Amino acid sequence: MARIFCSPILPFNDSLLNALFKSNDLVKEVGNVIDNLTTSDQERLEAKKALKEVVSDISIISNNESYNKFGIPVYSDIIKDKGPVGGIYTGLYHSTTQLNFCISCDVPMISSDFILWLLKRSGNASITLPMYKDKVHQMIGIYSKQVLSNFKESTEKEHLKLSQVNKDMACEIIDIEKEYANFDELIFSNINTKNELISITNESKH
């Protein structure tokens, strides 16, 4: 599975948070790109332009070289076959910023408002993860560059259960239903096919 790493432009301020990303079209587009769903070149160009207003860098962590065609840097795992732990290690290794937003490619309904809120909410935590209905979403979160060495060690020592790695680093877990005012359960929908994307997109319009 591909992972998308975004390095936020810092510091954030209220005007930036309120002005950017008024819809979740961008996040849907990123999911479309990674899953090879049909989108126009114009839509892709607009999505990348909008994302660049908030982040300084976007990268895809994947061993699939075909993703290079989207004009976004693609980094293969530094140590192959180590799952999400190895993927996050690779993303942090190539990142040039302190804070990094990590998201798996199969949750395209995550809204832009939520991403920006989570970035602002992360504060000084080394890892910030959302929780919904007692489930912690390990692959939707803010990962600080300062945990690079921890992920390197975990990858090399075959400690590959991401939830345990994050727990060992005392990650901050946020109960989204209690803290996020604009919460919508659809944002955590897992989507793996074009038909699922169409179905959930139609549902979100009602």
pLDDT score at 201: 66
Q: Kindly report the CATH number that applies to the domain delimited by 3-204.
A: 3.90.550.10
Looking at the chain, the whole-number percentage of residues with pLDDT higher than 90 is 32
Q: Alpha-carbon distance 108 to 28, whole Å?
A: 5
Tokens of 91: 């993303």
Tokens of 102: 């990590």
pLDDT score at 179: 94
Q: Alpha-carbon distance 177 to 191, whole Å?
A: 21
For 175, phi and psi rounded to 5 degrees?
-75, 105
pLDDT score at 132: 93
pLDDT score at 37: 36
pLDDT digits (tens, 9 = 90+) for 101-132: 888 877 767 776 787 888 888 888 999 999 99
pLDDT score at 53: 55
User: Within a 10 A sphere around the Cβ of 90, how many other Cβ atoms?
Assistant: 25
What residue type is 174 in one-letter code? Answer: I
In the chain, where the domains are located:
3-204
For 37, phi and psi rounded to 5 degrees?
-80, 155
Tokens of 7: 């390095």
Which residue matches tokens 């990303």? 21
pLDDT below 70 — which residues of the chain? 1-56, 108, 112, 194, 197, 200-201, 204-206
DSSP string, 83-101: HHHHHHHHHHHH--SSEEE
pLDDT score at 46: 52
